[in-house]
């Protein structure tokens, strides 16, 4: 076969973008530089030290001293699948709180793990009602696991977790939480909220590229995995084997994605240098300014203010406006990416992410100014300057 490498001149370069979609978010330059360090063996003593530092900082971000924390190789879905396939054995009952696209993905995975799945479906765009879980748990005597998502990226809802966790405890079941869009941008108190397993992703609020799924596991969840009667169907995502590589005896499991771990270590340093509380406050300030601006454009928010996430904001696309055409104009004309709707919200909403490095006042103002220009071109009249003014006022009020 002839060999014909694509000439460098023909290879498209990656254009700079302002990433205000559901992820990946922009990556801090310090993280990109960290990834350019020389390769090192995954059992080199210096790399082990890097792993130790990563675990130590990850535990601070998850707010756990009792649990284990480490990154799985893979994106957020790896953390989801590792949890469901390691915590559930065929025939185990799992009660799943369902209020969005990613909750449905969890159902699919739990079914593949052979579990007896009890999906509790509630309205999209609203917080999941605790009473629903309470009523269901009363009907069963042998529930192994309850699942929920802290930040449903498909709906923009912040799900309060303490009530669900209390119910899981009262019924002596394990409690698993998806913190993919939350970790690093929203409080995650793993120990205090009695969570048994939580997983996240590096590409949202953690300032890193996609590629790792940081997880935290309680001692009782690890014990439960250790005492399984059957092996988890996935060897790669077996949480016990991964926990051994990362935490206990450092036995080789798979070749560690060294450069991504270097990225995560730097991302975690950035998070802790900023301070968790400051970081949550920054996400809140910028999301409030974004909402003020979008509402000044006359757009309606999908989620009521009390359950709205700071990481991702959903607005209904106005009647008669082609949502994808607007997104395309933003990308092609202004280098700004925003997200489209998923599942039952497909074609109906825009999703604007302000996560990690992408949560910046200047990005909020750039987006709103571009929307003021673009929307009239797509048949939706707006008064020039109103959105930027409303967002600026909101930022000034919040001292941002
Ligand atoms: C809440 C939630 N869970 C899980 C996932 C899946 O993560 P990934 O796409 O990194 O596999 C996503 C992705 O956006 C998400 O938003």
For residues 215 and 228, state if they share a domain. yes
Residue 113 is assigned to a structural domain of this protein: yes
Residue 187 is assigned to a structural domain of this protein: yes
Residue 40 is assigned to a structural domain of this protein: yes
- Taking the CA of residue 149 as reference, the ligand 1 atom at the shortest distance is 1
Interacting residues of 112 by C-beta distance below 8 A, sequence separation 6+ = 85
Evaluate if residue 8 carries a pLDDT over 70: yes
Q: What's the rounded Cα separation, in Å, for the pair 58 and 266?
A: 11
Q: How far apart are the first and last CA of the chain?
A: 60
Give the residue from 246, 273, 300 where a domain finishes: 273
pLDDT of residue 9: 84
Domain count, the chain: 2
pLDDT of residue 247: 81
What are the angstrom distances between the C-alpha of 358 and each of 62, 226, 338? 21, 40, 11
For residues 128 and 205, state if they share a domain. yes
For residues 294 and 177, state if they share a domain. no
pTM value is 0.97
Residue 265 is assigned to a structural domain of this protein: yes
pLDDT of residue 360: 98
For residues 268 and 280, state if they share a domain. no
Evaluate if residue 10 carries a pLDDT over 90: no
- Taking the CA of residue 153 as reference, the ligand 1 atom at the shortest distance is 16
The CATH number of whichever domain residue 354 belongs to comes to: 3.90.1150.10
For residues 156 and 258, state if they share a domain. yes
Q: What's the rounded Cα separation, in Å, for the pair 311 and 34?
A: 25
Evaluate if residue 297 carries a pLDDT over 80: yes
Domain of 341, in residue numbers: 276-397
For residues 184 and 74, state if they share a domain. yes
Residue 60 is assigned to a structural domain of this protein: yes
Q: What's the rounded Cα separation, in Å, for the pair 228 and 304?
A: 42
Residue 8 is assigned to a structural domain of this protein: no
Q: Select from 21, 24, 149, 181 the residue to mutate for testing ligand 1; criterion: most ligand atoms less than 8 Å from CB.
A: 181
Per-residue confidence band for 400, with pLDDT thresholds at 50, 70 and 90: low
Residue 17 is assigned to a structural domain of this protein: no
What's the 187 CA to ligand 1 centre distance in angstroms? Answer: 18
The CATH number of whichever domain residue 92 belongs to comes to: 3.40.640.10
Give the residue from 242, 273, 304 where a domain finishes: 273
For residues 263 and 140, state if they share a domain. yes
209-258 confidence digits (pLDDT tens) = 999 999 999 999 999 999 999 999 999 999 999 999 998 778 889 999 99
For residues 340 and 216, state if they share a domain. no
Instruction: Identify the bridge partners of residue 333 per DSSP, sorted by sequence position.
Output: none
Q: Select from 76, 99, 340 the residue to mutate for testing ligand 1; criterion: most ligand atoms less than 8 Å from CB.
A: 76
For residues 227 and 249, state if they share a domain. yes
Q: How would you class 275 by CB atoms within 10 Å of its CB: exposed for 0-12, middle for 13-18, buried for 19 or more?
A: exposed
Residue 283 is assigned to a structural domain of this protein: yes
For residues 355 and 313, state if they share a domain. yes
Q: What's the rounded Cα separation, in Å, for the pair 138 and 132?
A: 10
123-133 confidence digits (pLDDT tens) = 999 999 999 99
In the block, residue with structure tokens 């909403």? 349
For residues 117 and 36, state if they share a domain. yes
Q: How would you class 168 by CB atoms within 10 Å of its CB: exposed for 0-12, middle for 13-18, buried for 19 or more?
A: buried
Give the residue from 214, 247, 273 where a domain finishes: 273
Q: Select from 153, 210, 215, 237 the residue to mutate for testing ligand 1; criterion: most ligand atoms less than 8 Å from CB.
A: 153
Mean pLDDT of all residues in the chain? 96
For residues 264 and 288, state if they share a domain. no
Residues with CB under 6 A from ligand 1: 22-23, 75-77, 80, 102, 149, 152-153, 178, 180-181, 201, 210
């Amino acid at each position: 076969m002839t060999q014909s490498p694509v000439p460098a001149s023909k290879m498209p370069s990656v254009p700079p973008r302002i990433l205000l979609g559901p992820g990946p978010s922009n990556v801090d330059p310090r993280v990109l530089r960290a990834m350019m360090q020389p390769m090192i063996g995954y059992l080199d003593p210096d790399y082990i030290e890097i792993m130790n530092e990563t675990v130590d900082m990850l535990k601070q971000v998850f707010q756990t001293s009792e649990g284990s924390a480490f990154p799985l190789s893979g994106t957020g879905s790896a953390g989801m699948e590792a949890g469901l396939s390691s915590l559930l054995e065929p025939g185990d009952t799992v009660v799943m709180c369902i209020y969005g696209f990613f909750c449905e993905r969890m159902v699919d995975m739990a079914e593949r793990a052979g579990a007896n799945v009890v999906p509790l479906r509630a309205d999209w765009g609203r917080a999941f009602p605790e009473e629903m879980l309470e009523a269901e748990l009363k009907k069963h005597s042998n529930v192994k696991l309850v699942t929920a998502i802290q930040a449903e990226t498909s709906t923009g809802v912040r799900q309060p977790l303490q009530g669900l966790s209390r119910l899981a405890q009262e019924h002596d079941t394990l409690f698993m939480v998806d913190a993919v869009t939350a970790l690093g941008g929203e409080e995650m108190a793993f120990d205090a909220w009695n969570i048994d397993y939580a997983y996240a992703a590096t590409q949202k609020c953690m300032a890193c590229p996609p590629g790792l799924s940081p997880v935290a596991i309680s001692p009782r969840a690890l014990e439960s995995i250790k005492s399984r009667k059957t092996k988890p169907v996935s060897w790669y995502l077996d949480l016990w084997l991964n926990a051994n590589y990362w935490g206990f005896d450092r036995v080789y499991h798979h070749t560690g994605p060294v450069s991504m771990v270097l990225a995560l270590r730097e991302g975690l340093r950035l998070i802790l240098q900023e301070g968790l509380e400051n970081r949550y406050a920054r996400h809140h300030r910028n999301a409030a300014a974004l909402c003020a601006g979008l509402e000044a454009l006359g757009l309606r928010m999908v989620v009521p203010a009390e359950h709205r996430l700071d990481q991702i904001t959903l607005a209904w696309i106005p009647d008669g406006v082609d949502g994808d055409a607007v997104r395309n104009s933003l990308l092609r004309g202004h280098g700004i990416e925003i997200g489209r709707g998923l599942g039952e919200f497909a074609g109906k909403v825009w999703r604007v992410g302000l996560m990690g490095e992408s949560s910046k006042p200047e990005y909020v103002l750039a987006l709103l100014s571009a929307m003021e220009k673009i929307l009239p071109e797509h048949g939706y009249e707006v008064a020039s300057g109103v959105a930027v003014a409303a967002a600026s006022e909101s930022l000034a009020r919040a001292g941002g």
